Chain A
Amino acid sequence: MTKKIQIEHVSKIFGPKPKSVIPMIKDGMSKAEILKKTNHTVGVYDASMEINEGEIFVIMGLSGSGKSTLIRCFNLLNKPTDGAIKVDGEDIVKYSGSELNHFRQNKIAMVFQHFGLFNHRTILGNVEYGLEIKDVPKEERQKIAQKNIDLVGLKGYGDKYPDELSGGMQQRVGLARALANDPDILLMDEPFSALDPLIRRDMQLELLDIQDRLKKTIIFITHDVNEAFKLGDRVAVMKDGKVEQVGTPEEIIEAPANDYISDFIRDIDRSKILQAEHVMTKPNALVSMKDGLNVAVKEMRENGISSVFVVDRGRHLKGIVTIDAAINGIKQKKTLADVLDTNITKASKDEYVSDIIPKALESKFPLAVVNEENKLEGLILRVHVLSGLVAEDIEESKEYHGYYQEKKTEE
C-alpha cells in the first residue's frame, strides 16, 4: 500500500508566540503545564502518522482532543506551528499562497460538521463552486456538478436552496460539493454528528458505498467510537492533542494502548466489530473419519467434552459426533459414518459476532468456522461469543477448558 500522507511531528499551538512553545514540547512538557506556564494552548501535540492511499482513516477523540485542529492542518486551514505534512511526498506546509490554492483546488476537499453550505446559492451553485473557482467553463462544470448531485441521491434538487432541504440532504450536498472537484483526499470533520441517528446510519452506509466506487483517501473525524470502528480501516485515538494509538479497530479493541483507550472503547458494541476469527479457538480435539468410534470416545473422555468434530484427510468438515451417539454406536456395532451428525451450524471467518449470536443460540453443538472450501478453521462455543462482548478475560468453564487441552490428535 502506498503512503498518501505522512504527518511528521506536527504541533499546533495557539497563543501570541506559538513558536516559543515548541522547545517545551520537544522537552516533553505536558499540555497543562504549558498552558499554566506560558498561557499558550496546545491544539495538536507532536502528532505523527501515516495514511495509506485509498483507506478510510478515522481520527477519534472527545471534544477538545485536538482532532478538528489536526484535520484542518491537512489543508492548512490551520498552519502547523511545527512539523511537516507530506502529501505524495511534498511538504505542503512549505507551499506558497498560489501553490496552496492549487493544492486545495485539485487534491483535497473537505466536508464540514455544520455543512458550511453557501445558502445564497442553489444546490447546483454550491456543488459547482469548487469548479467555478478553477474557471472551468460553465457548461462543463454544471454537467460535473449534476453528476455528483445524482451520485449522492439528490437528483432533481439542483435548483433548490440549502434552507429548503433537511439536515441529511444538506450534508449530501456538502459531500457532492467536495466530490465534484474529484480530489484524491477527502477530509470529513464530524460530518454526521449533526444528523439524527437513523439518517446518520444511512449516511455511513452510503459513504462506504461511495468509497467502494471512488476509492478516495478519506480522513474522517468523529467522537463516536461506534462510528469510528464501523467506518475506519484504521483509527487514531487522540487525547489532549496527542495521538494515543493508531491501529485497525480490531487491534485497538484487542490491545488498547492504555487505560484511557480501554475506557473509551468500553461501551462500544463489540459484537459489530469483532469477527468470527477473533473469538474462535483452534480445535485441539479432532477425529478423523478413519479413526473410528473408539478413538472418538477416547478423545472426548480425555478432553472432558461431549462432542467432537469429524474431518477428513484434508481437514474438510464432515460432521460432529456426540459422546452418547458414539457409545450407542459401539454397542450396536455401527461405524463412525453411521452415527455422524451432519447438521452443523457453520460460520465464516469474517462474519461479525453480532450475526453469530442468533446462530449460536439455536445450535446445540459448537459452531464450526470454515473457509470457502469447507475446511475447518476453528470453532466457536457460546462462551466464546459472549467473551467477545466483554473486555475482561472470561472465567474458564468446563466446556471451555475441555477444548483448550493441549492434546494433539491430528494425524
Chain B
Amino acid sequence: MGIFPNIQSNLGDYVSDFVDFLDTTLDPLFDLIFFISSRIINGIEGLLLILPWWVFIFLIFLLGWYIKSVSSGILYGAFIFVIGTFGLWEEMMMTISIVLSAVIICLLIGIPLGILMSFSKGFSTIMRPILDAMQTMPSFVYLIPAIFFFGLGNVSAIFATLIYALPPVIRLTELAIRGVDPEVIESAQSFGSSRLQMLKKVQLPQALPTIMAGVNQTTMMALAMVVIASMVGAQGLGEQVLISINRIDIALGFEAGISIVFLAIIIDRVTGGIADKFQKHRGAK
C-alpha cells in the first residue's frame, strides 16, 4: 500500500505564527482599519435607514428606470417591497451597507493596483499568482485571520469579503488598460501628453467599460461572501440564513435566501447597466 512516509512540514504552524506576529505588531494599524471600516458601514447603514421605506423603494425604481426601463424600475421596486414584507427590511439594509462598504474599499485598493500592474510587467508577474490564490482559496479560510485581527462582527466580514472580491476588479483594470487600442495611445503620445495626462484623459476613460465589468463581478462576489461572512458575525440577510440553518427553519431560510437573490438581481442589473452606458460610444474598438 502506498503510505506516505512520516515526513512532516509545519507550514500551517508558520502561517499561524505569522498571523500572531502580525496581530501583535500591527495592532494599531488594525485598530485604525477597524475604526475606518466600521465608520463606513455605520455611516452607510445610518443613511439608508434614515430614508422612509417608500422613498427607498422609489429611489430603486428611479435607478432601474434610468439604467434600464420603466418596467425594470417597477420590478426592482417590487422586489424591495417583497423583502420588506418578509420583515427583513433592516437586515437588507445591513447587507447592502456591508456590500457597498466592501465594494468601495475594493475599488479604492483594486483600481490603483490594477493600474500599477498595467504599467509594470514585473509587478504584474508578482501579483498574478497572489490573485490566483486569493480567488481559488476556499472563502471560509479567510474568516479565521479575520477573527484574529478584528474579532467577530461586520469589520471581519468586510475584511474577508475584501480578499475574496478584490481580484476581479484588479485583473479587469489591468486588462482594460493594457487593452486600449495602441493607435489611440500613440495618438495621445504624439500630442505630447505626459504620463498622468495620458492615464487621466485617455487610458482610464477608454478602459472604463471593462473596469465597470470588473466592478460588477466584484460586487456580485461581495454579495455572495456576505452570507458566508455571517459565520464571523456579519449581520444582515446572511445572519438570517445562518440562523435558519441552525433552527432548520425552512420558512426563514427561504425568505432570507430569496431576498439575497432579489438583491443580487438588482445589483447585477444596475452595475451591468452602468457598464453598458459607458460602452455606448466606445463600442466598436
A110 at the interface (CB under 8 A from B): yes
Does A264 reach chain B (CB closer than 8 Å)? no
Query: Are B184 and A162 in touch, CB under 8 angstroms?
Result: no
Contact of A130 with B191 at beta-carbon distance under 8 Å, contacts A113-B183, A116-B184, A118-B184 already known: yes
Interface check A1, CB cutoff 8 A: no
Chain A 96-127 per-residue mask, 1 if CB under 8 angstroms from chain B, else 0: 00001111111011101111111111000000
CB pair B192–A102 under 8 Å, yes or no, is: yes
Query: Contacting chain A: which of B15-23, B76-84, B197-205, B226-234?
Result: B197-205
Contact mask A129-145 → B, CB, 8 Å, 1/0? 11011100000000000
Among B224-257, those with CB < 8 Å from A are none
Q: Please indicate the chain B residues that have their CB under 8 angstroms from the CB of A100 in the complex.
A: 192
Distance in Å: Cβ of B221 to nearest Cβ of chain A:
27
Quick one: given A100-B192, A119-B285, A163-B284, are A133 and B197 in contact (CB under 8 Å)? yes
Q: Are B192 and A161 in contact, with the CB atoms below 8 A?
A: no
Name A97's closest neighbour in chain B (CB-CB).
Answer: B194
Residue A75 interfacial (CB < 8 Å): yes
- Residue of A72, A75, A129 near B201 (CB, 8 A) is A129
CB <8 Å contact, B194 and A101:
yes
- Is the Cβ of B192 less than 8 Å from the Cβ of A132? no
A198 is an interface residue with CB less than 8 A from chain B: no
Cα separation A170 to B282 with both chains bound (whole Å): 14
Which residues in B have their C-beta under 8 angstroms from that of A134? 192
Contact A112 B186 (CB under 8 A): yes
Known A119-B281, A119-B285, A120-B206; judge A105-B186 contact (CB<8 A).
Answer: no
Is the Cβ of A77 less than 8 Å from the Cβ of B190? Answer: yes
Q: Does A181 contact B (CB under 8 A)?
A: yes
The chain B residue sitting closest to A104, CB to CB, is B192
Fill in one digit per residue for A64-94: 1 if any B CB lies within 8 Å of its CB, else 0: 0000000010010100000000000000000
B187 within 8 A of A: yes
Contacts of B2 in A (CB 8 A): none
Is B138 engaged at the interface, CB distance under 8 Å to the other chain? no
From B186, B201, B281, contact of A116 by CB (8 A): B186
User: A110 contacts which chain B residues (CB < 8 A)?
Assistant: 186-187, 190
- In the assembled complex, which residues on chain B have CB atoms less than 8 Å from the CB atom of A114? 181, 183
Q: Is the interface of A mostly helix, strand, loop or mixed?
A: mixed
Q: Contacts of B285 on A, CB cut-off 8 Å?
A: 119
Checking A104, A118, A120 against B190 with a beta-carbon cut-off of 8 angstroms, the contacting residue is A104
> Is the C-beta of B139 less than 8 angstroms from some C-beta in chain A?
no
- Shortest distance from the beta carbon of A233 to any chain B beta carbon, whole Å: 23
Q: Given known contacts A117-B184, A119-B285, is B191 in contact with A109 (CB within 8 Å)?
A: yes
Kindly report which residue of chain A lies nearest to residue B284, judged by CB atoms: A163
Q: Contacts A119-B282, A119-B285: A101 and B192 contacting too (C-beta < 8 A)?
A: yes
Interface residue ranges of A130-180 to B (CB < 8 Å): 130, 132-134, 161-164
Return the chain A residue nearest B194 by Cβ. A101
Total cross-chain contacts (CB, 8 A): 79
The interface residues of chain B lying within 8 Å CB-to-CB of A102 are 192
The smallest C-beta distance from A208 to any residue of chain B, in angstroms, reads: 23
Are B281 and A120 in touch, CB under 8 angstroms? yes
Q: For residue B190, give the distance in angstroms from its CB to the closest CB of chain A.
A: 4
Q: Using an 8 Å CB-CB cutoff, how does the interface string of A185-222 with B read, 1 for contact, 0 for none?
A: 00100000000000000000000000000000000000
Interface range, A side: 20 to 34
B135 close to A (CB within 8 Å):
no
Main secondary structure of the interface of B (DSSP, over half): helix
Contact digits for B253-275, partner A, Cβ 8 Å, 1 yes 0 no: 00000000000000000000000
Complex: A396 Cα to B284 Cα, angstroms = 59
Q: A119-B282, A120-B206, A120-B282 are in contact. Are A129 and B191 (CB under 8 A)?
A: yes
The yes or no answer to B208 lying at the interface (CB within 8 A) is yes
B283 interface residue per 8 A CB criterion:
yes
B282 adjacent to A75 (CB under 8 Å): no
- Complex CA distance for A121 and B285, rounded to whole angstroms: 14
Instruction: Please report the C-alpha to C-alpha distance between residue A331 and residue B206 in the assembled complex, in whole angstroms.
Output: 90
B38 is an interface residue with CB less than 8 A from chain A: no
Query: Is the CB–CB distance between A109 and B284 below 8 Å?
Result: no
Question: Bound state CA distance, A121 and B206, in angstroms?
Answer: 10
Q: Specify which chain A residues have a CB less than 8 angstroms from the CB of B201 in the assembled complex.
A: 118, 129, 132-133
Residue in B191, B205, B206, B283 whose beta carbon sits within 8 Å of that of A133 in the complex: B191
* Chain B 164-190: CB-based contact to A (< 8 A → 1; otherwise 0): 000000000000000001011011111
A112 in contact with B281 (CB, 8 Å): no
Which of A103, A116, A161, A164 sits near B187, CB closer than 8 Å?
A: A116
Chain A contacts of B284 at CB under 8 A? 119, 163
Do A104 and B183 touch across chains, with their CB atoms under 8 A apart? no
B188, B190, B201, B282, most chain A CB atoms within 10 A = B190
Cα distance, A362 to B186, chains bound together (Å) = 54
| Given A77-B186, A112-B183, A114-B183, A133:B281 Cβ within 8 A | no
Residues in chain B near residue A106, CB distance under 8 A:
192
B193 interface hit (Cβ, 8 Å): yes
B residues within 8 A CB of A162? 281
Bound Cα distance A119, B181 (Å): 11
Q: Report the Cα distance A117→B181, complex, angstroms.
A: 10
Q: Give the complex CA separation of A63 and B148 in angstroms.
A: 63
- Which chain A positions have C-beta within 8 A of B181? 114, 116
Residue interface mask A243-272, B partner, CB < 8 A = 1:
000000000000000000000000000000
A113 to B188, CA, bound (A): 14
Q: Which residues of A contact B (CB under 8 A)?
A: 72, 75, 77, 100-106, 108-110, 112-121, 129-130, 132-134, 161-164, 181, 187
A-B contact pairs, 24 of them (CB 8 A): A72-B186, A75-B190, A77-B186, A100-B192, A104-B192, A105-B191, A105-B192, A108-B190, A109-B191, A110-B186, A110-B187, A113-B183, A114-B183, A115-B183, A116-B184, A119-B285, A120-B206, A120-B281, A120-B282, A132-B201, A133-B191, A133-B194, A162-B281, A163-B284
Top 10 A-B pairs, shortest CB-CB distance: A104-B192, A116-B187, A105-B192, A101-B192, A116-B183, A110-B190, A161-B281, A130-B191, A120-B205, A119-B282
Q: A114-B183, A115-B183 are in contact. List 9 more A-B contacts (CB 8 A).
A: A103-B192, A104-B191, A113-B183, A118-B205, A119-B282, A119-B284, A120-B205, A132-B201, A163-B283
